């Protein structure tokens, strides 16, 4: 206890979960557990009839699934063995070989493009975007169905000019695919995602500061204006 509050010494945690089992008030809980590919597939296949009736499938999200490419590959391969539609969500900031490994067993790719300006991208994310844009070009040439997505974050990338730059890049990728003679393959589309604060409650439980606390959510009118700016660049754009 410190100043009347519980303090968790996370550096001493061994992730055994024993504290959860012995907490009589059930105030503690484990978020996540280590699983084998077989255990994951058992969970996945329990819902197979739902995927078949809904037209859905299995999406590997994250984190970043390509950072665990061997594990991800096994799951995707198993899913395709059971005729399930597969998708991955990626930020693109991984070696191309990691993404390329997953492509033979992936039907749909959802990839974030947060900024085109390299300095703004570095400032917002702490990483350059040259590898991300390079991977986007490689994915365009793969012929796979791709949804490029921009999480619209106020003060980070919520101007019409910034969205136009990203949409123009997506248009460039569409033309790149056509010039490579792959226009008959999967579609390339663009989606705007409005910033939200659904993860805000997780930060205190992890002992972290939620720095987006005071960020205002984009309005529907603002999102509509950005959507129209993207569509004027000649891309199939939507928002949610």
pLDDT of residue 4: 84
pLDDT of residue 184: 58
Q: Which fold has domain 35-239?
A: TIM Barrel (3.20.20)
**For the chain, what are the domain ranges?**
35-239
d(CA 90, CA 88): 6
Q: Is 174 helix (H, G, I), strand (E, B) or coil?
A: helix
Chain centroid, CA 149 distance in Å = 9
115 near 152, Cβ under 8 Å? no
Q: What is the pLDDT of residues 31-53, one digit of tens each?
A: 777 899 999 999 999 999 999 99
Paired tokens of 90: 């990626």
Find the mean pLDDT for residues 12-39. Answer: 86
Q: What is the pLDDT of residues 194-206, one digit of tens each?
A: 999 998 988 887 7
- Least confident range from 135-139, 185-189, 204-208, 223-227: namely 204-208
pLDDT of residue 203: 86
Cβ count near 71 (within 10 Å): 15
pLDDT of residue 29: 80
pLDDT of residue 153: 96
Task: Please check the confidence at residue 112 and state whether its pLDDT lies above 90.
Answer: yes
Q: What is the pLDDT of residues 220-234, one digit of tens each?
A: 999 999 999 999 999
Task: Please check the confidence at residue 147 and state whether its pLDDT lies above 90.
Answer: yes
Q: Which residue shows structure tokens 């992936």?
A: 106
Q: What is the pLDDT of residues 79-93, one digit of tens each?
A: 999 999 999 999 999
Mean pLDDT of the chain: 93
Q: What's the pTM value of the predicted model, to 2 decimals?
A: 0.88
């Amino acid at each position: 206890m410190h100043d009347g509050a519980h303090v968790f010494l996370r550096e001493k945690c061994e992730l055994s979960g024993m504290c959860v089992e012995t907490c009589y008030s059930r105030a503690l809980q484990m978020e996540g557990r280590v699983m084998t590919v077989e255990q994951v597939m058992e969970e996945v296949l329990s819902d197979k009839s739902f995927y078949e009736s809904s037209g859905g499938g299995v999406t590997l999200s994250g984190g970043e699934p390509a950072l665990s490419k061997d594990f991800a590959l096994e799951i995707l391969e198993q899913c395709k063995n059971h005729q399930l539609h597969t998708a991955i969500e990626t930020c693109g900031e991984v070696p191309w070989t990691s993404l390329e490994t997953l492509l033979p067993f992936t039907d749909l790719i959802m990839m974030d493009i947060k900024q085109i300006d390299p300095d703004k991208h570095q400032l917002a994310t702490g990483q350059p975007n040259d590898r991300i844009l390079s991977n986007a070009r490689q994915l365009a040439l793969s012929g796979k169905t791709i949804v490029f997505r921009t999480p619209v974050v106020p003060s980070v990338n919520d101007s019409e000019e910034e969205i136009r730059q990203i949409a123009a890049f997506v248009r460039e990728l569409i033309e790149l695919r056509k010039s490579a003679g792959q226009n008959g393959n999967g579609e390339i589309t663009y989606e705007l995602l409005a910033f939200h604060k659904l993860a805000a409650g997780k930060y205190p439980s992890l002992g972290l500061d939620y720095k987006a606390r005071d960020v205002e959510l984009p309005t529907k009118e603002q999102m509509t204006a950005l959507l129209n700016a993207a569509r004027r660049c000649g891309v199939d754009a939507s928002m949610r």
